[in-house]
Amino acid sequence: MSDALLAEFRHRYNQRCSERRRTDCPRPGFYDSWLIDKLQALVERNHGKPLYPGWTSASDYKDTPESFGTVPIYSQELHNAIEAQREKLGTEAVAEMKKKLTPDQQYMCTQTRSWLPFLPLNGKAEFQLFQKLRSNQGSFDAEEMAIKWCEHVDGVSIFPKLPVYLRTHHDKWERNQRIQVAVQGHASQQAALDTVNAQTEATMHDADEEAAVMLDADDGAAADQGSANGLGALHPPLSQPLAQHPPMPVPMGPAPLLPYVVAGLSMGISNPPVQTSALKRPGGRPKGSANKKARLAPTCKKCHKKWPACPGGTPRGVCGSV
């Protein structure tokens, strides 16, 4: 599916480039170029001239061995090596191997013209084979190892490899080798450190046991003294102190629900209504005409008070201080 989608994208991209760049290239509005080729040939046969002079029919060219999409990228030497292993295993064994391949692997075999798909390294058997081949090889050569690898291909646990797969795994293998060399080089220091840690742990364990024995002895002596005085144990064993829990918080429940009464009639249980007199506007000003009148009332010039504290603040009022 992915190969088919790439082929469709490639075809449409080439046609759009032709429409933009080529002179007198038609714009049919669809991408089935083979239909235009048939129409071009029909008009040329009946009328002796092409329908689209700027259109180049793909059917006028011969087929070439070129291929697009998923193609074989291995060398001829690797191809000869994998074919030699095929003849060594036999026709019946190869047929049984092909039956066990997945549809994706069968498609890869068809596109790469190989009887087994080239897959990256996977599994214990292939990792061990890589270790063996790399140990027998002086300087790493992916091409040479890929050819040697074909001699061990069985189609079950070991599949043929491309050189790029071996180079990718070789980087990881070298890193693991450096880690192993570093660990082996510091083996003596690690052993000495383990010895010191073991001695420290043993010393701390002995100290804990001695402390526990002393605590048990003190508890027993206190219990004997209390029994002699007829008071019982004076305190609980120190090794098991009394647990101290914080005081439990007092649960704060919701406000009690009260009957909502309107005009002497009970409207059912509800929260008490909010007093409208306590409400204020966003600016902090009191709500209501009376409060607004008191806020806007002039100040008395004699007592310096506002109405209703001093009626002299109004046009017809008289200050009580007179």
Are 14 and 54 in the same domain?
A: yes
Q: Does 68 map to a domain?
A: no
Residue 178 is predicted with a pLDDT of: 87
Are 83 and 124 in the same domain?
A: yes
Q: Does 238 map to a domain?
A: no
Q: Does 95 map to a domain?
A: yes
Please check the confidence at residue 229 and state whether its pLDDT lies above 70. no
Mean pLDDT to the nearest integer, 225-231: 56
If you search the block for the tokens 């024995």, which residue do you land on? 213
Residue 68 is predicted with a pLDDT of: 76
Angle at 32 (CA atoms; ends 29, 33), nearest 5 degrees: 95
Burial pattern 225-257, b for ≥16 Cβ within 10 A else e, equals eeeeeeeeeeeeeeeeeeeeeeeeeeeeeeeee
The total domain count for the chain is 2
Percent of the chain, pLDDT > 90?
13
Q: Does 277 map to a domain?
A: no
Are 87 and 160 in the same domain?
A: yes
Residue 233 is predicted with a pLDDT of: 46
Are 81 and 53 in the same domain?
A: no
Q: Does 126 map to a domain?
A: yes
If you search the block for the tokens 């002796």, which residue do you land on? 48
Render pLDDT for 30-82 as a digit per residue (tens, 0 to 9): 888 888 888 888 998 899 888 888 788 887 788 887 777 778 888 889 999 99
CA dist., res. 306 & res. 313, Å (int): 6
Render pLDDT for 76-128 as a digit per residue (tens, 0 to 9): 899 999 999 989 988 888 888 888 899 888 988 888 888 899 999 998 999 99
Give the model's confidence band at 239: pLDDT under 50 very low, under 70 low, under 90 confident, else very high.
Answer: very low
Residue 313 is predicted with a pLDDT of: 65
Tell me which of 106, 135, 169 is where a domain ends: 169
Q: Which of 95-104, 178-187, 222-231, 271-280 has the lowest mean pLDDT?
A: 271-280
Tell me which of 14, 31, 60 is where a domain ends: 60
Rg over CA atoms, the chain: 49
Please check the confidence at residue 278 and state whether its pLDDT lies above 50. no
Are 90 and 50 in the same domain?
A: no
Phi, psi of 260 (to 5 degrees): -90, 115
Please check the confidence at residue 194 and state whether its pLDDT lies above 50. yes
Q: Does 128 map to a domain?
A: yes
Are 80 and 165 in the same domain?
A: yes
Residue 246 is predicted with a pLDDT of: 56
Give the model's confidence band at 25: pLDDT under 50 very low, under 70 low, under 90 confident, else very high.
Answer: confident
Give the model's confidence band at 272: pLDDT under 50 very low, under 70 low, under 90 confident, else very high.
Answer: low
Are 101 and 148 in the same domain?
A: yes
Q: Does 304 map to a domain?
A: no
Tokens matching residue 218 = 């003190």
Residue 284 is predicted with a pLDDT of: 53
Render pLDDT for 130-179 as a digit per residue (tens, 0 to 9): 999 988 888 888 899 999 999 999 888 899 999 999 999 999 988 988 88
Q: Which of 174-178, 220-224, 239-243 has the lowest mean pLDDT?
A: 239-243
Burial of 171 from C-beta contacts in 10 A (0-12 / 13-18 / 19+) = exposed
The SS3 of residue 179 is helix
Structural domain range at position 146: 76-169
Mean pLDDT to the nearest integer, 281-305: 65
- Calculate the average pLDDT of the chain: 78
Are 81 and 51 in the same domain?
A: no
Are 80 and 113 in the same domain?
A: yes
Q: Does 142 map to a domain?
A: yes
Are 50 and 105 in the same domain?
A: no
Mean pLDDT to the nearest integer, 219-228: 59
Tell me which of 137, 169, 201 is where a domain ends: 169
Are 112 and 50 in the same domain?
A: no
Are 95 and 152 in the same domain?
A: yes
- The answer to whether 22 and 52 have CB atoms below 8 angstroms apart is no
Please check the confidence at residue 221 and state whether its pLDDT lies above 70. no
